[in-house]
Structure 1
């Protein structure tokens, strides 16, 4: 039986409802000083706003030691009626103090990922439902190769999917060469994030043909082509027969971007992105992206 591992237990994939496949309720990083997502009240309000528009699930891509607040997630899920899926994993080195990285060097990292997937995050008892790692800009540095190797080991031990932050949407072929080619992770267990930030339709089709999932996640920022190029990119993939590999998300990473603070936040996915994509590929296709596709991408025959 395949199941999505949420913070309150495993659920069948068809129980997720409408899913924001990449977002953050809590997040902190030295790269985002003063913009941390730490407020439980703001997270509660954001979930309520998302739920009011028909949202049913949020996949939080916040990994190890980046302010996940795992113990706060189950009460928020129960109060809001929104399924929450938590992450284990490790981001780029720039998001951590060296002491944190030194503590998990070598094989300890894979052991950490497996423990958080099967036993729980710290003392919270909350189990992660997937592994989040990150590539670099058009390349994979030593840190990325180390974390992806650990993520692959965790997949082989548990079956958990691996979600990858692509820096500005780049480096997808290198990620697949490593994870699926060298490390033996099936492509359908890999989610590539931020493809919207690099609207390279040739690369999109190439990686979609591998069988992995492509996440278009987050409204435009100053140097991103997210909003104005995304409909064309999604249409091209649907017309090429890859509509069943597409996921949609919001990727709220700063306090100012929350809807409760005047930003787009989680509701933007359902309030604006969904309707814009429906205008070019149809409401039925978009509906499958946020329900069936997300359920398949994050459901596992847990080992």
Structure 2
């Protein structure tokens, strides 16, 4: 049977069950946390809080969360291992790099940045780093990444964003590990991602375009779905520039158009995110791990989405995503 790597080791894809395809455990600025630890507080308390929140999530019937925390988002696997040992959930982790603009300074004078100076083509070290996380494990933990993550936002396909995306594509082709892309659908950045990924030979069926539910433009999403991409309807609860109903109604519409088999559901939630000042979370009362099950699924059912379509989005599409992992 096909298997997928999790924090506790490989599991058969048939055992993934209901899967939320875009949830973080922690989102952190590592330099700030290391140098100004007072806000973080007690490591044990943070771990215990995460265990409590994820245990509540497991009580809804969810069996797996897919955590796209990579370079730029504070990935630290030993902490996630502590939590995974205490919760009845599969946690699937990623490799890659998160930027909306430039590459991190670590990469500025490595790899392709040296091409002009040396007069030759220099391989991008990101590729080997990502491949190593997938094949060998992350930082000596024994935990292997199961998918790749990159990002493009309203700034568009900057040189740094393109460099990361092409490195992710090359690592994907070498390993077969699928890809998730943070996108900005309001400015149709999924189309820009499509152009680069297809130029690198990536099969769109092996890519989730994250945050597709940030738009209500069903025609735009239909174009992406018809190209083969999986649509990440994965920010339920983040109702700042949109509403609960808008997020849910676009899922209803895409199901009506026959694309349940190319959507996944999630909240993009976390146990703790240091991007937000104290009190900001009070403005987003639905942004938590059980919002999909508490509120979204009942709404979808009331508006004509069938149990079969819900199972497709929560079980079948994630399973297919992690089964199609042959290198090119």
Number of the residue aligned with 1:290: 314
Number of the residue aligned with 1:100: 106
Number of the residue aligned with 1:270: 293
Number of the residue aligned with 1:15: 15
Deviates more, 1:62-71 or 1:41-50: 62-71
In structure 2, do the counterparts of structure 1 residues 214 and 274 end up closer, same or farther at CA, with 3 Å as the change threshold? same
| C-alpha deviation, 1:35, in angstroms | 8.3
Paired with 2:47 and 2:101, the residues of 1 have a C-alpha distance of 26
User: Within 5 Å, which residues of 2 pair with 1:67-146?
Assistant: 67-92=74-99, 98-102=104-108, 105-106=111-112, 107-137=124-154, 139-146=156-163
Number of the residue aligned with 2:220: 203
Paired with 1:35 and 1:167, the residues of 2 have a C-alpha distance of 30
User: What SS does the corresponding residue of 1:58 show, helix, strand or coil?
Assistant: strand
Contact 1:138 1:171 in 2 (8 A): no
User: What SS does the corresponding residue of 2:181 show, helix, strand or coil?
Assistant: strand
Paired with 1:139 and 1:104, the residues of 2 have a C-alpha distance of 23
Paired with 1:52 and 1:247, the residues of 2 have a C-alpha distance of 20
Deviates more, 1:112-121 or 1:63-72: 63-72
In structure 2, do the counterparts of structure 1 residues 223 and 264 end up closer, same or farther at CA, with 3 Å as the change threshold? closer
Contact 1:14 1:292 in 2 (8 A): no
| C-alpha deviation, 1:77, in angstroms | 2.5
Paired with 1:6 and 1:228, the residues of 2 have a C-alpha distance of 33
| C-alpha deviation, 1:276, in angstroms | 1.6
Deviations 1:251-293 (A, max 9, x none): 115367889x976321112211222222221233112211111
Paired with 1:226 and 1:248, the residues of 2 have a C-alpha distance of 16
| C-alpha deviation, 1:88, in angstroms | 0.4
Paired with 2:196 and 2:30, the residues of 1 have a C-alpha distance of 28
Paired with 1:300 and 1:36, the residues of 2 have a C-alpha distance of 39
Paired with 1:103 and 1:122, the residues of 2 have a C-alpha distance of 23
Paired with 2:79 and 2:324, the residues of 1 have a C-alpha distance of 24
Q: How many residues align?
A: 300
Paired with 1:85 and 1:251, the residues of 2 have a C-alpha distance of 14
In structure 2, do the counterparts of structure 1 residues 264 and 139 end up closer, same or farther at CA, with 3 Å as the change threshold? closer
| C-alpha deviation, 1:168, in angstroms | 5.7
Contact 1:3 1:301 in 2 (8 A): no
User: What SS does the corresponding residue of 1:176 show, helix, strand or coil?
Assistant: helix
* Residue 43 of structure 1 pairs with residue 50 of structure 2: yes
In structure 2, do the counterparts of structure 1 residues 262 and 277 end up closer, same or farther at CA, with 3 Å as the change threshold? closer
Q: Rg: which structure is higher?
A: 2
Number of the residue aligned with 2:117: none
In structure 2, do the counterparts of structure 1 residues 68 and 113 end up closer, same or farther at CA, with 3 Å as the change threshold? same
Paired with 2:280 and 2:62, the residues of 1 have a C-alpha distance of 18
* Residue 4 of structure 1 pairs with residue 22 of structure 2: no
Deviations 1:140-198 (A, max 9, x none): 11111101100111111100111000136541111111102x11100111100001112
Paired with 2:84 and 2:316, the residues of 1 have a C-alpha distance of 21
| C-alpha deviation, 1:298, in angstroms | 2.8
Paired with 1:31 and 1:212, the residues of 2 have a C-alpha distance of 35
| C-alpha deviation, 1:222, in angstroms | 5.1
Number of the residue aligned with 1:236: 253
Deviations 1:231-251 (A, max 9, x none): 321122222221101100111
Deviations 1:198-252 (A, max 9, x none): 2211110000001111011123445432522123211222222211011001111
Structure 1: gaps (5+ residues): none
In structure 2, do the counterparts of structure 1 residues 17 and 29 end up closer, same or farther at CA, with 3 Å as the change threshold? same
Paired with 2:208 and 2:39, the residues of 1 have a C-alpha distance of 26
